[in-house]
Amino acid sequence: MENKDFTCVILAAGQGTRMKSDMPKVLHKVCGLALVEHVIQACRSIGEPVVIIGNGSEKVKALLGDGVSYALQAERKGTGHAVMECFAQAEINTEYTLVCAGDMPLITGASLEKLCACMEGKGACVLSASMEDPFGYGRIIRNADGTFKKIVEQKDATAEEALVNEVNTSVYVFKTKLLADALKRITPANAQGEYYLTDCLEIINRTEPIGVMCLEDATEAFGINDRIQLAEAAAIMQRKINNMHMRNGVTLVDPCNTYIEAGVEIGSDTVIYPGSYIGKGSKIGKNCILMGGNRFDNAVVGDGCTVEASVLLNCKVGDGTTVGPNAYLRPKAVIGNNARIGDFVEIKNATIGDGSKVSHLSYVGDATVGKKCNIGCGTVFVNYDGKHKHRSVVGDNVFVGSNSNLIAPVELKDGAYIAAGSTVTRDIPSGSLCVARSREYIKEGWADELRRSWEREK
């Protein structure tokens, strides 16, 4: 639950040179969200986030929009300097300040809440983790009674300190007044000439105790510096996402080859086969069968649907409907209940009514199709005249024969019947037959004579 006593400062100004990318490090994605978006989501339960931006600041702001506040660190002079800039630019009046790195996508709101709960009687609290291989991390050094003593960086650690497995995750909570005072007193007295936020802990510890909370799951402390670590974090998160869905009653035939992004909703007793990619914003109902080769992005699928080897983008599918194989539902496609969208069918900005069938090899664009219609094989809704898009309307119980062209704008009223091979250019009244093709011309013996001429040429 959001707490007005906390401000969440997220460090996202770094360049991330090891990513070897023109894009800021914090904008690289894990399971459908940018690194910094994961951190923001975790912080939302604590308080309002302030994102410190620097490298690629406009790109970061373009992604995050007005949902967060910003502070600019024009020159990168260390973590302490970043928080200094935040205090100088943002009005921070809360009792406590939480500081998180923007490249820790696995951190959870539950862990941050536990850390904040440790602040009673403390000047600050540090989030730590126990790692089998702590190399590269700053070590948490404790006093004999187990209380916090200091943080020692890898390069400064003695042989004995280097054996410590408890590491600093770069997540802290401070009493805001103590942090503001400590920031005024730290100096760039190090080889890099940077202001270290950890120096504030040493200053605060002179007058008030520092708490330490060790993560139950050390993977939450995973920070991203290169694309190898990005892939490792994605694998960890994907496993957690898949396990969550399976615990909720979803069958994943092969979890190692099923990719579900963060925030996806899936109903119980749905079965998902290998090779499926279900993107963020998607909602899948109960008792569905998703065969291999599907790609969903912001797709809403009702209960009892079957989808096979198809692409569904920003669309909606009703209950009991089958889609595919190899169908393409483009943005603003809305499919009703108990409908059938078959193989190599493309639907764009169109509504297909309950019980209607578009079984194969058809394009339906910019159209409204009513209930219990049959759109025959090879039908094309011709919606573009070279400059403008036009819309077609098909009523209920309409039959459109194979290889028909509907030249928009056109309306086929309830119960109309379009003969196969027709090109329809005007509205068809209810219950009428439309035959829009040339009459057959038959010349008996013509084919036989043609073949005899071929024989004479030999």
Rounded CA-CA distance 89/92 in Å is 9
Rounded CA-CA distance 224/404 in Å is 55
Rounded CA-CA distance 178/172 in Å is 13
Instruction: State the catalytic residue, choosing from 38, 245, 360, 390.
Output: 360
Q: Beta 148-152 vs 139-142: how paired, if at all?
A: antiparallel
Lookup: tokens for 387: 């400059």
Lookup: tokens for 7: 């401000």
For residue 190, CA distances in Å to 48, 186, 194 come to 33, 11, 7
- Looking at the DSSP bridge assignments, the partners of residue 412 are 394, 428
> Which residue type sits at 12?
A
Q: In which residue are the tokens 């005072």 written? A: 181
For residue 325, cis peptide bond before it (omega within 30 degrees of 0): yes
Q: Which of 219, 167, 283, 232 is nearest to 28 (CA)?
A: 232
Are the C-beta atoms of 43 and 101 separated by less than 8 Å?
Answer: no
The two most distant CA atoms of the chain are separated, in Å, by 111
Are the C-beta atoms of 321 and 303 separated by less than 8 Å?
Answer: no
For residue 274, cis peptide bond before it (omega within 30 degrees of 0): no
Instruction: Write phi, then psi, for 97 (nearest 5 degrees).
Output: -130, 120
Lookup: tokens for 362: 């058809």
Is 28 among the catalytic positions? no
Q: How many residues does the chain have?
A: 458
Q: Beta 392-394 vs 96-101: how paired, if at all?
A: unpaired
| Catalytic residue IDs | 360
